[in-house]
Amino acid sequence: PSTSLWAKSYTGYFLSVVLFGMGMTLSIDDFKRIAKMPLMVIVGTVAHYVIMPLLAVFLCWLFRLDGMVAVGVILVGCCPSGTSSNVMSFLSRGDVALDVSIGLLSTLLAPFMVPLLMSALASQYVEIPVGALFITALKVVLIPVALGVTVHTVFGAKVSKVTAVMPAVSQVAILLIIGVVVAANNAKLFTAETALILPVVMLHNLSGYGLGYLFSRVMFRVYPQGFRYAQQKAITFEVGMQDSALGATLALQAFAANPVVAIPSTFFSVWHNISGSVLASWWRRRDDRYNIPADSHDG
């Protein structure tokens, strides 16, 4: 544990680096895209912030989770969609532009949505530090993203050399956050208290994919011109994948006395990259097998 605990005070900075890097990959055109297809982006964002939080509450009830463990499960469910979903959407030949737009909007809303949802859904277990969640999310989400976009806008193509190395820097930063959570919970990581967290996290993620895809299929029936096959893939990943690094950071800072709250986010961070990669690969192979084009009307 001593190899990672030194970094506990810096988890907010590590996540800020990740989101600053995300901001540097964005341009004003990304924000304009939200305005160009507001229905698709808003509907996808609403689906994310409805399905995953309520699914977390249902799983806590189903598995009889209580206390800080339940708070941790609900916290990761209330987080915005993860940036990894952009990669998975690309690998599966989904609508990456829609994926990025939904991820951007859900991330920008995170400082407001996470405290609001946690207050509504997790206050039965513990008093929710709404103010601390808001301030932390504001500092580690909105400010770094805004700075990244500003740097990109000012320096343009000159930032390409920096953005080329940012994925590796981001991976290191996320691994450091995971290391802190594991170190802080080394005595509780695999105990009776936390034994159900891993299966709950796996079910949460997989159910998110399933419900996200089902939702996109229903929307296809309502608005087939917008929710085509590529968009269905994007929404599936956007709903099921969470910004679990943010969840772990918020847990470590807003619930500092109870680091167990960060365990679900840590497990989610590892698991959803595995499941997302498998799903993206399966989708791509299926399309190749049945000669389904990327711009297909329906899969």
pLDDT in tens, 45-99: 999 999 999 999 999 999 999 999 999 999 999 999 988 999 999 999 999 999 9
> pLDDT at position 208, please?
98
d(CA 257, CA 188): 14
Pick the residue with more confidence: 158 or 130? 130
Residue 261 — very low, low, confident or very high, per pLDDT cuts 50/70/90?
Answer: very high
Q: State mean pLDDT over 254-277.
A: 94
Tokens of 189: 């990581």
Residue pair 58/79 in contact by the 8 Å Cβ criterion: no
Residue pair 117/80 in contact by the 8 Å Cβ criterion: no
d(CA 297, CA 231): 10
- Comparing C-alpha atoms, which of 103, 115, 43, 53 is closest to residue 78? 53
d(CA 68, CA 62): 16
Q: What are phi and psi of 225, to 5 degrees?
A: -70, -30
> pLDDT at position 157, please?
84
Contacts by residues 196-200 (CB-CB < 8 Å, ≥ 24 positions apart): 196/63, 196/65, 196/69, 197/69, 197/72, 197/73, 197/263, 197/264, 197/267, 198/267, 198/271, 199/63, 200/59, 200/60, 200/63, 200/65, 200/73, 200/264
Q: E strands, 149-264, where?
A: none
